Amino acid sequence: MHWTIAYDDAMEVIRVTVQGDLTVEGINAMTAALLGESRRLDVYRFLCDCRGISLGMGLAQIYRLPIGLRRLGVKSYHMVALVYSDGPLATPRFTIFDDRCQNAGLNHKVFTDYDLACLWLTGINWSIVSGPACVAV
């Protein structure tokens, strides 16, 4: 699992692009790096582009993941939008993750549409906006 972190000054969002096999260990390391960047920049919104991942994690690992994120220091004031590629394996797993995050008190939301994820992070009512909210990097 590899990731690239960049700060989007215009949106005041920390962007991360994730590629490779998604693992609990990789997520933990990436989360620690993102939280460090969050503290350094005093920014609490994250756009995670997971469209380049392969999902090898089982349902039990995904089910427990939000509790592990809380233990690592992710708080309810952190806004996290995850963008993933829709598919028969990915969609149920990301839906479970979305539900579990809400139950754990985390402010995470999953999307298959990059622009909607950007709009959600910036607080713009996407139903009245025409045109793209942000440009994929």
Q: What is the pLDDT of residues 44-63, one digit of tens each?
A: 999 999 999 988 788 899 99
Alpha helices for 6-113 (secondary structure H): 24-41, 59-72, 90-103
User: Angle formed by the axes of helices 90-103 and 59-72, to 10°?
Assistant: 40
What are the chain's domains? 2-128 (3.30.750.24)
Q: What is the pLDDT of residues 60-117, one digit of tens each?
A: 999 999 999 999 999 999 999 999 998 887 888 899 999 999 999 999 999 999 999 9
Q: What are phi and psi of 14, to 5 degrees?
A: -90, 120
